[in-house]
Structures are given as C-alpha cells and as structure tokens.
Amino acid sequence: MEANRGAKSLLAVFQPPDPGDAVELALDEYDADRRYRGTALLANAPFGGETPYLELFRDAANDPDSGVRQVGIRALGIHGEPSDAAVIIERLTDEEWLVRMEAARALQRIHNEQAVVPLMERTTIQNEMNAQVRAEAVHALGQYREPRVLQTLVRALNDPSLAVNHNALTALEILTGQNLGYEPAAWLAWFDETDDPFAAGRIYTYPGFERDKLWYEWLPFLGSPPNEAESVPVGLSPVVEG
C-alpha cells in the first residue's frame, strides 16, 4: 500500500487516497508510474467492479506501458465479466512475460469458451518459453470439460517444469476425479477405457490468496490484508453436470 502524501497523522499515512485521487493517478497520460499506482489502488478496492472502473481497467490493459497493462489485466481478473475474456486473451501474446502470466491468471477467474484455444497454445514451449506462464495457463484449463483439454494436460505432464507438471495433474484431477499420477501413459490408457472421463469430475476453483498482516495493519481502524478465498470463476456454473 502506498503512503498517502500530505498525511497529517500516522493512521492517515497508510490510508489509500479516495476514489477520485486514484482515478486522477490512473488517468495521468504523462506518467506511467502514476497510472500504475492509481490502477492498482482501484483494482484492490471493493467498488472496482463498477462500470466506470471496469472501463478504466479495459483501457489500462492496452496501455503502452507493460506495468500498467499488467495491473489492468489483474484488475479485470478480479472485477471483470465473462465478456472481458476477449481483452485478456489478447494479452496472452504480450511481449512481456509478466503481462502474459497475469492474463493466464485472470483467465482462471473468468470463464469463457473463447479462452480454451489461446490457453492451450500457451502450454507448449514452442509457443511459450516462460514456465510460469505455461503453469498458469495449464491451471486455467482445469475449468473446461473438453477432450482436447485433457489431451493438452496430459502432454503438459511431460513439461520440463515441475510447476507445469503439478498444475497439469491438478487440472486433470479436477476434470476427471481421478489421481493417476504424473505418467502420461496411465492417463491415456484410462481415457481409452472410459466412456465419460468427466463423470466424476468436480467444480474448478481458482487459487486463493492469503498473507499475514503487515505491522501497520495492526493499527486501529485499518482493514485486514487483501486475502481472498478460492472461488468459482465468474461465468462458470457452480454445479457439475454429470
């Protein structure tokens, strides 16, 4: 959290600016750092899902500065709608890997069938050299009950990155309800013997976030840290159909 400039008390130092101040920062066309800070403040605000702020986040996702694009995509992942997947998908091929990773994470929170192929493309080394991006894309695929997704996840078990392997296995377990380990051959054999591989699957939830309070967050009247429990992506039915 950024200290509030002009604060006249210790408590006020750590209070974020009001929405108007944050918007002013976010719209500073001459200073990317101010745009980043303003957008980040709005992204973490409970009112960030209101229409004017969503429009600001959509613009930020296409900012010339990669840091602003990254926080804009993060904000859409937190507050966006299924239709925002189109904006997020565009950033899966961004020149900066941190933006691509943020886009894959955002698509864990937003369910839209249009994201399936772009996410699948981010799971291969040929298309994506950064393992963290591949790992996040693999995790996001765990919400799509399609045979082509299963095949992609099985291939990801052979990825040289352990993080990608782990997320691929997690996604396979969510989609199928089975735990057949990291050996692709075991999964392929099971697919051949199974009429409906999704019959025992469970609902996908995106990863939660939790951290301890910082020292100043123990002060009176300051809120809790921005922790979040895992949840179902927006646009995905919380009921698994057999």
Strand partners, 110: 234
- If we measure between CA atoms, which residue out of 182, 218, 223, 178 comes closest to residue 200? 178
Judge contact between 74 and 108, C-beta under 8 A.
Answer: no
Q: Has residue 122 got a pLDDT over 60?
A: yes
- Given this model, what pLDDT does residue 213 score? 46
> Strand, helix or coil at 110?
strand
> Strand, helix or coil at 150?
helix
**How does pLDDT run across 205-241, given as a tens digit for each residue?**
998 754 454 444 454 544 554 556 778 999 998 765 5
- Given this model, what pLDDT does residue 223 score? 52
In order, the DSSP letters of 9-36 are: SHHHHTSPPPHHHHHHHHT-TT-HHHHH
Phi-psi region of 6 (alpha: psi -120 to 50; beta: other; left: phi over 0): left
For 38, the enclosing helix (H) or strand (E) is: helix 32-43
Question: Exposed/middle/buried for 97, CB within 10 Å: 0-12, 13-18, 19+?
Answer: middle
pLDDT category of residue 47 using cuts at 50, 70 and 90: confident
pTM (2 d.p.): 0.84
Where do runs of H (alpha helix) occur along 126-241? Answer: 131-140, 147-156, 162-176, 184-193
Q: Measure the CA angle with vertex 27, ends 23 and 30; round to 5°.
A: 140
**How does pLDDT run across 137-149, given as a tens digit for each residue?**
999 999 999 999 9
**How does pLDDT run across 134-182, given as a tens digit for each residue?**
999 999 999 999 999 999 999 999 999 999 999 999 999 999 999 999 9
